[in-house]
Amino acid sequence: MTKEQIGALVRGATLYHTLAEGASHGAGVAIFYFDPNGRAAARLPSGKLMAGVYRVEDGGYVVDWDNGLQNSRSILAKEGGLLVCRNAVDGQLRSTVERIMFGDPEDLAGTARA
């Protein structure tokens, strides 16, 4: 996917990721909100909240988490009719994007701006 396609998909949207088996953040759904102004927020299955700065690149996006990994690179790709998220470094499956909602239905914007 191009930078423009990914930007149109994620900016101002909430993505619901079902984490891959064995994911470091546990089993379940991780919810990511990408503020149009370049801030990101996430709620992990454990309930932990994360915030950081993101940028869109060809193939995916990069997040520098305030309270986590820096330069966390993810690739978004269509595979077999699914939208998947892979680690850009080793190609390992991180999650499957189950749903995309435009706006912030989970009210994560406050965390993104924190």
Question: Which pair of tokens denotes residue 63?
Answer: 């997040």
**pLDDT tens digits for 16-65?**
999 877 666 677 899 999 999 999 999 999 899 999 999 999 899 999 99
User: Whole-prediction pTM value?
Assistant: 0.89
Give 80's contacts (C-beta < 8 A, 6+ positions apart). Answer: none
Structural domains in the chain, sorted by start? 3-104 (2.40.128.640)
Residue 12 has a pLDDT of 97
